[in-house]
Structure 1
Amino acid sequence: MRVATAHAYDTTIAQLTQRQAELVAQQERISSGKRVARASDDPVAATMSEAVQNRLARVQSDQRALDSSRTSIQQAESALGESGELIQKVRDLILSGGNPTYGPIERESIAQQISGLRDQLFSLTNRQDGTGRSLFGGLGGSATPFVQTFGGGSAEVRFEGRRGQQAAGDNQLPQAMDGDAIWMRIPAGNGTFALDLPASNTGSMRSDTGQVTNLSALTGHDYRIDFSGTAGSMQYSVTDVTTGTPVAGQTGVAYSAGAQIAFDGMSFKVVGEPVAGDRLDLTSSSAPTDLFKVMQDAMDALRLGTGEGTQRTHDLGRALAEIDAGHDRVLLARAQAGEWLNRADSIEGLLGDREVDHATEQSRLEDLDMVKGISQFQSQQIGMEAALKSYAQVQRLSLFQYVS
């Protein structure tokens, strides 16, 4: 009887202790709101929850990277807007510089204004974001992608970053734009060929920038247009400099001011009066120029002497065409930045939806149903109280109570 009584006592105490532990554990779940606080609570749910938590952490990391990229692109877009305004001011100055009534003092003043705008543009191209990363460094390679080298009376600008830029992905955006493509790859002339007047010309002849009339007829060769004859009977002949041969049908052609000269898929208008020995050089525009050189060429043209008005007008016309081409590239880059910002909004919405989905899944695996949890706690509490009362009543029972 003593052994049985002791065993019953130990068993009852163990059961009460277990009930007490379960009650404390349930109270802990209610306090934390978590059904799974440790892996032993539900190994399967804990494993699945950890996987969901990893995916949620990746989404949050993508969101932080997206915010950083968007800030950089917003600053780049703003800088491109400023660049467009500077280029427009330079264009207006070049137009005013072509005024034939202006003297050397007025033209020098305009050249100085263009120089100041050029310096502002150079400073803008090296702009950095809040973290010190260049906005227009392309793929990196240099903290200061644009550098100037001085010599020969002018400042040459070089791009020392890495050309190109990262592609926008499903969850991320580039953090820098390719400044080389924006400002340093401007088509020379009209983009296909360029027309130049040699300094040895003495007449008043000049040309426009020309245009392509037949792509399939282009040769990519360089040409020379020579003028000969006397006033009233001026003629021109076209020579293919690359092959050293005359162009068929373009030898001894009568010149008429303002008429179009066309050959090998190209056409351009020549105005003014040439003299015998003058010529016009046509070169294939295989190598691009840059906006800084275009501005420098415009300044050089404005500083030409009074007797070089024809050369100045011709050079300013070419600079104007190249400025317009550069402005188009800046506008295109700004449109690209705007498209990336629109994509950032879409990506942000997508990542936000994923974050909600992962958080919901994690909650389903870990969180406690409070109504069910409180109900279970109350049931366990009632059971615990009943067990304690029953045990107390049983402990008071003995044979002497029946004998008495």
Structure 2
Amino acid sequence: MRVTQSMMANNLLRNISGGYSQLADYQSQLASGKKITRPSQDPVVATMGISYRTDVNHVEQYQRNVTNAYKWLDSSDDALKQVDDALNRIRELTNEASTDTYTADQRAAAGVEVDQLIQQLVTLGNTQVGGQYIFSGSDSAHPLLSQASDGTVSIVADLSQPDFSVAVNDGIQITINVKPEAVFNDQLFQDLNQLKKDLTEGTATGSQISAHLTEIDTHLDEVSSAQADLGAKTNRIDLTKNRLAEQKTVATNVMSRNEDADYAETIVKLNQQQNVYNASLSVGAKIIQTSLIDFLN
């Protein structure tokens, strides 16, 4: 086959263009820090990158869920501490009012404070986090308690699904709420309203008022049990948080090995390609300079 000057020139230009394109790829890798900037450059890397990035995004979403879970748990724990304080104050008032030295007016004054503390318990039972009622179970859009004008307190939330859960990993849900009736149950408010009535009406004896102490102690035990259960859930969330951090580290490292450019290797290849490109230009300049006139001479 006869090789013409035009064929040599075209072949040279095609090779120089290819080398220049490869040189541009290496420069792009150094600038972006990634092996590829388009899927067409390496479909395998691009496909695997989508899968690895999805894994990282899943872990990050679960980490955000864990952060929200901490808000619920911390708010629930704070509310239970205030419930405990309120019940202890009610117990203190009851104990003082049960003595025979207390007059009817003093007991009535204690009854007024008990009434205020009952209202505070209703407020605590309707605690919200981000617009959601944390003691209402799955019915978090509605308050747990309602207090009528006569002081009667009733549960108004739908408790058919008492648990509120969050997803913390694929297929794993953790319940993060205090069960609605574990603390704020009907018996609590019935007992407290009866105590308030006994104090304010002034007809109850010291022993009758003293009998309420056992009831209050029972409700204090319920608060302690709820706090212990909440602590166990917090410990599990802590373990889950650590596990997710490890998963993210592993997933990020795998994604990095698949997508990120090796700077040292890329710089070496860039320099090699630069030398090849410069040599191609030098040789090409000599070939293209030769013409038919040169041969005639």
- TM-score, with length taken from structure 1: 0.67
**2:246 is the alignment partner of 1:353:** yes
Q: Is the 8 A contact 1:45 1:365 kept in 2?
A: yes
| Aligned length, in residue pairs | 292
Partner in structure 2 of residue 183 of structure 1 = 184
Shift of 1:403: 7.1
SS in 2 for 1:147: strand
Which is worse superposed, 157-166 or 54-63?
A: 157-166
User: Contact 1:94–1:320 (CA<8 Å) still a contact in 2?
Assistant: yes
SS at match of 2:148: strand
> What's the counterpart of residue 199 of structure 2?
302
Distance 1:4 1:401, change over 3 A: closer
Richer in strand (by share): 1
**Number of the residue aligned with 1:145:** 144
In structure 1, the partner of 2:215 is: 322
Aligned runs of 1:1-400 on 2, under 5 Å? 4-129=4-129, 131-140=130-139, 142-150=141-149, 154-163=150-159, 164-166=162-164, 171=169, 173-174=174-175, 176-184=177-185, 289-305=186-202, 309=205, 313-314=207-208, 316-397=209-290
Task: Please say if residues 143 and 157 of structure 2, whose CA atoms lie closer than 8 Å, have aligned partners that are also in contact.
Answer: yes
Amino acid at match of 2:223: V
Contact 1:107 1:303 in 2 (8 A): yes
> Structure 2 CA distance, aligned partners of 1:167 and 1:135?
11
Q: Distance in 2 between matches of 1:341 and 1:37?
A: 43
- Could you give the per-residue CA deviations for residues 281-306 of structure 1, whole angstroms, max 9, x where no partner exists? xxxxxxxx522221111122224555
Question: Pairwise CA RMSD of aligned residues?
Answer: 2.3
> Which one scores higher on RCO, CA 8 angstroms, separation ≥ 6?
2
Structure of greater Rg: 1
What is the CA distance between 1:332 and its match in structure 2?
1.4
Shift of 1:64: 0.7
- Identity of paired residues, percent? 24
Deviations 1:175-214 (A, max 9, x none): 5432322120xxxxxxxxxxxxxxxxxxxxxxxxxxxxxx
- Unpaired runs of 5+ residues, structure 2, are none
TM-score, length-scaled by structure 2? 0.90
Which residue identity does 2:271 align to in structure 1?
Q
Instruction: Give the distance between the partners of 1:61 and 1:43, measured in 2 at CA.
Output: 27
Task: Check whether the contact 1:139–1:176 (CA below 8 A) recurs between aligned residues.
Answer: no
Query: Structure 1: which 4+ aligned runs deviate by more than 6 Å?
Result: none
Select the structure that is richer in helix. 2
Return the offset for 1:54: 0.8
Separation in 2, partners of 1:33, 1:110: 72
Give 5+ residue unaligned stretches, structure 1: 185-288
Q: Distance in 2 between matches of 1:141 and 1:377?
A: 59
Q: Which residue of 2 aligns with 1:238?
A: none
